[in-house]
Amino acid sequence: MTSSRRSLLVRASLVACSLTLLAVACSGGSSLPSGADGSDGIPADEPTPDAGTDPDEVDPDPDVGDDPGPAEPDPTEPPDPADDAAAALPPAPDPAPLFELSADEVLPNAKRLASDIVQSLLTYEPDTTAEDLAATVATGPLTTQVAGALGPIHHTGSWSRGEIVYPQLGGATATDTSVMVVAEQTIGSPDGQVRTERRTFDVRLTIADEVWVLDEVASVGGVPVPRPDDLSVAARAVLDDPRIELPDSAVWDIHAGITAESLLRLMAQMAEHTPYGVIVLETGHPFNVFGTDRVSRHMAGLAVDLYRLDGPLVIDDREQGGETHAFVEWLYERDDVRVIGSPWALDGFGGRSFTDLVHQDHLHIESVPTRAELEAAAARGALRSDDPDPRELGADDPQPGE
């Protein structure tokens, strides 16, 4: 392993790959079976309301070469006993191993690079500066952008260790992608305390010289928001349910009042059906549907992405009749679910249930908003042009599903 300044931007030959386009049945749903190489058939004409992906165009997953992964931190001198702050630091554990992707992943090279970037940014020593850290994953002007994004995760005088939970696609085009990486950061502070935060990163990659390279660290998962005393019943139900795995970025969204009550009620009822793991609510998701000018439903607090149910990852459980397929069918029958993105299109092209390349590794679930929730979305600039005027809805009337 090279020094902590080693860049992860590795040039290598493009590994050409193609994803066979398979049609999706219009009744009862159909799976997109994995090919021998782990790729999936993608319906050619499937609408992608929250992916910004043209399945005919998004098939390259260029290699990233011999990715060295997170650079090992430079060894530091033993703390000076006279330095009280350094002496109080708790012992730092060894860096975590690199994340191992499922053999069934789509765009695995992009996911691997994004995961390694995040782990590198979360693994540092007390004397590592933000600029030092940025230089481990970027070069040139990009180093300044990355260093400027690190404020919430870089703690001067503390050590940090990162470990990847799961990298989920946030969108893809023919040349660019967003990977939302949930990672756990363990921080050892000069006060002797050790704390852990689980964050959702938005890592943007692009193809340059036929390989994936870092384009931007768009989000490091926000800043902590204290739990308020006046949380709603639905918010408390979601936050306090051990069957719901939430990154802290999502917890802080709920604390901040960003997440709609209709979605919180739906999430609480989903946990009665099966435990599940969340990747993102709002913070850490691209503002627009990736590659488009349409605002994502996540920005309105009306959508949640799940990467697993009670055990299996969505990417590994895409057969019809499996646990994930049965859960999607259960959601589809509910009147409080507006749209479902998943590995299946239960009602054919253009319906409430859609599939595409991006939604092979997660379930995108939208709730049916109320007038008050649409008004709140409008106030945050998250209302879409095709949304009804909130004034045309009754105060408590939900918007009809599409």
SS3 content of the chain, % helix, strand, coil (to 5): 25, 20, 55
- The reply to whether 134 and 179 lie within a common domain is yes
Cα 291 from Cα 269, distance rounded (Å): 32
- The reply to whether 251 and 107 lie within a common domain is no
Cα 206 from Cα 56, distance rounded (Å): 18
Tell me if 34 is assigned to some domain. no
- The reply to whether 238 and 369 lie within a common domain is yes
Which of these three, 219, 250, 285, is where a domain ends?
219
CATH number at residue 154: 3.10.450
- The reply to whether 114 and 202 lie within a common domain is yes
- The reply to whether 202 and 280 lie within a common domain is no
For residue 356, what are its two tokens?
């595409």
- For 209-297, strand residue ranges (E) read 211-219, 244-245, 276-280
Tell me if 19 is assigned to some domain. no
Cα 331 from Cα 306, distance rounded (Å): 13
Q: Contact 224/151 with Cβ under 8 angstroms?
A: no
Helices (H), 317-393: 323-332, 371-379
Which of these three, 192, 219, 246, is where a domain ends?
219
pLDDT tens sequence for the chain (402 residues): 443 333 443 333 333 333 333 233 333 333 333 333 333 333 333 333 344 444 444 455 777 655 555 556 555 655 555 356 666 899 999 999 999 999 999 999 999 999 999 999 999 999 999 999 999 999 999 999 999 999 999 999 999 999 999 999 999 999 999 999 999 999 999 999 999 999 999 999 999 999 999 999 999 999 999 999 999 999 999 999 999 999 999 999 999 999 999 999 999 999 999 999 999 999 999 999 999 999 999 999 999 999 999 989 999 999 999 999 999 999 999 999 999 999 999 998 778 999 999 999 999 999 999 999 999 999 989 988 777 776 666 555 554 433
Q: Contact 95/161 with Cβ under 8 angstroms?
A: yes
Cα dihedral sign for 263, 265, 268, 274? negative
Tell me if 335 is assigned to some domain. yes
Q: What's the pLDDT score for residue 63?
A: 72
Three-class SS of residue 73?
A: coil
Cα 393 from Cα 402, distance rounded (Å): 16
- The reply to whether 103 and 198 lie within a common domain is yes
Q: Contact 333/327 with Cβ under 8 angstroms?
A: no
Tell me if 384 is assigned to some domain. yes
Strand 159-172 to 303-308 pairing: unpaired
Instruction: Return the closest-CA partner of residue 278 out of 373, 166, 116.
Output: 166
Cβ-proximal residues to 157 (8 Å cutoff; 6+ apart), any chain:
85, 86, 126, 189, 190
For residue 146, what are its two tokens?
């990355």
Q: How many domains does the chain have?
A: 2
Amino acid at 257: G
Tell me if 74 is assigned to some domain. no
Rounded to the nearest 10°, the torsion over CA 46, 47, 49, 51 is 50
Cα 375 from Cα 391, distance rounded (Å): 9
- The reply to whether 215 and 245 lie within a common domain is no
- The reply to whether 247 and 188 lie within a common domain is no
Q: Report the first-to-last Cα separation within the chain, whole angstroms.
A: 52
Strand 303-308 to 363-367 pairing: antiparallel
- The reply to whether 120 and 170 lie within a common domain is yes
Which of these three, 187, 219, 251, is where a domain ends?
219
For residue 124, how many C-alpha atoms fall within 13 Å in the half-sphere facing its CB?
A: 26
Q: What's the pLDDT score for residue 156?
A: 96
Tell me if 152 is assigned to some domain. yes
CB atoms under 10 Å from CB of 401, counted, come to 14
Tell me if 342 is assigned to some domain. yes
- The reply to whether 188 and 246 lie within a common domain is no
Strand 276-280 to 303-308 pairing: antiparallel
Tell me if 26 is assigned to some domain. no
- The reply to whether 139 and 182 lie within a common domain is yes
- The reply to whether 242 and 361 lie within a common domain is yes
Task: Please give the angle made by the CA atoms of 369, 202 and 50, to the nearest 5 degrees.
Answer: 40
Q: What's the pLDDT score for residue 242?
A: 98
Kindly tell me the burial class for residue 364, based on how many C-beta atoms sit within 10 Å of its own C-beta (0-12, 13-18, 19 or more).
buried
278 strand-pairing partners = 306
Domain of residue 144: give its range: 84-219
